[in-house]
Amino acid sequence: MPILRALLVAPVVLTLLALGTASLPSEPHLTPASPHLHRLVAEGDAPAAALLAGPSASAPYGTYGSAGPGIRPGDRFRAGSITKTFVATVVLQLVDEGELRLSDSVEAHLPGLIRGQGNDGARITLRSLLTHTSGLYDYTEALPATDPAVTGAAGPSAQPLAPGTAIRTALAHAPATAPGAYAYSNTNYVLLGLIVQRVTGHPYAAEIQRRVLTPLHLSGTSLPGARSALPVPHSRGYHRSADDGTLRDVTAIDPRIAGAAGELVSTLADLNHFYAALLGGRLLSPAQLATLLDTRAADGRYGMGVYPQRLSCGTTVWGHDGHITGSYVRTAATVDGLHVFTFRVNTDALPGPALQAALLEAEFCGSRTT
Treating both helix axes as pointing N-terminal to C-terminal, what angle do 83-96 and 268-279 enclose, rounded to 10 degrees?
A: 30
Known catalytic membership, residue 222: no
CA gap 169, 23 in Å, rounded:
37
Question: Going by C-beta distance under 8 Å and a sequence separation of 6 or more, which residues neighbour residue 284?
Answer: 89, 92, 93, 96, 278, 292
Distances (CA, A) of 275 to 35, 75, 196, 325, 332: 25, 18, 21, 23, 8
3-state SS assignment for residue 239: strand
Report yes or no: 83 and 321 within 8 Å, Cβ to Cβ.
no
Task: List the alpha helices (DSSP H) in the chain.
Answer: 35-42, 83-96, 106-109, 126-130, 148-151, 163-171, 186-200, 204-208, 214-216, 268-279, 286-292, 353-364
Report yes or no: 277 and 327 within 8 Å, Cβ to Cβ.
no
Q: List 310's β-bridge partners, or say none.
A: 316
Q: Which amino acid is at 313?
A: C
- For residue 142, the 8-state DSSP code is G
Distances (CA, A) of 158 to 112, 152, 154: 30, 9, 6
CA gap 182, 133 in Å, rounded:
5
Check 81, 105, 134, 228 and give the catalytic one: 81
- Torsions phi, psi for 76 (to 5 deg): -85, 145
Distances (CA, A) of 221 to 57, 58, 276, 349: 25, 25, 15, 23
Cis previous bond, 308, omega within 30: no
Catalytic residues: 81
